[in-house]
Amino acid sequence: MEKSCDGCFYEKVHGSQDPCISCGSGYNYDKWVAVGFLKNVPDDTDSLEGQHVMDQMIAHLERVKPLEAKGVKYDSGKLQWTLLPFRAINEVLEVLSFGAKKYAADNWKIVPEARTRYVDAAFRHLTDWHLKEKLDGETGKSHLAHAICCLLFLLWFEQEDRV
């Protein structure tokens, strides 16, 4: 990353600007902050001006340190649930809830010839949707949400066969 110090707090040491992103982030942030302030301390460290610069450095470090503290979470390679389109999932859940009230919760697991019947149902819903009938007449929900339910059932059956 190219360093750009235009407007960087440490180039001016006046006011309360933050460092530029290339200077303000990094592993040795505290040391860099101290070096930035110390270059402005006069040789006579007993002077009021020197004490003022040191006070500024301490105040700034106390202000930025809580923002810099970061926790650690090892979640790379894990499922990213935030990738789900939750509004669409919500409509699928509404279709599932409708079916649970109409039949029974998990009734779909015990329907005779379920695989064939859910393939047929999925295609019926996809065909209706494709022919411009977007919503199911009984539920008022998208035919796509109904087809997704059928496909989820089929996926569940397939997974059950694998275990």
pLDDT in tens, 114-131: 999 999 999 999 999 999
Least confident among 27-36, 65-74, 130-139: 27-36
Which structure tokens are listed for 41? 């301390």
Per-residue pLDDT reduced to its tens digit, 69-105: 678 888 889 999 999 999 999 999 999 999 999 999 9
Long-range contacts, stretch 18-23, CB < 8 angstroms, 24+ apart? 18/64
* Contact call for residues 143 and 134 (beta carbons, < 8 A): yes
Question: How many CB atoms are closer than 10 A to CB 91?
Answer: 19
Domain range annotation of the chain: 9-68, 81-162
CA R_g for the chain:
31
Please give the model's pTM, rounded to 2 decimal places: 0.57
* DSSP secondary structure letters along 97-146: HHHHHHT-TTGGGG-TTHHHHHHHHHHHHHHHHHTT--B-TTT-SBHHHH
Q: Which tens digit of pLDDT belongs to each residue from 137-154?
A: 999 999 999 999 999 999
pLDDT given at position 28: 44
Which pLDDT band, with edges at 50, 70 and 90, does 40 fall under? low
Does residue 133 have a pLDDT over 70? yes
- Rounded alpha-carbon distances, angstroms, from residue 154 to 29, 36, 46: 54, 63, 79
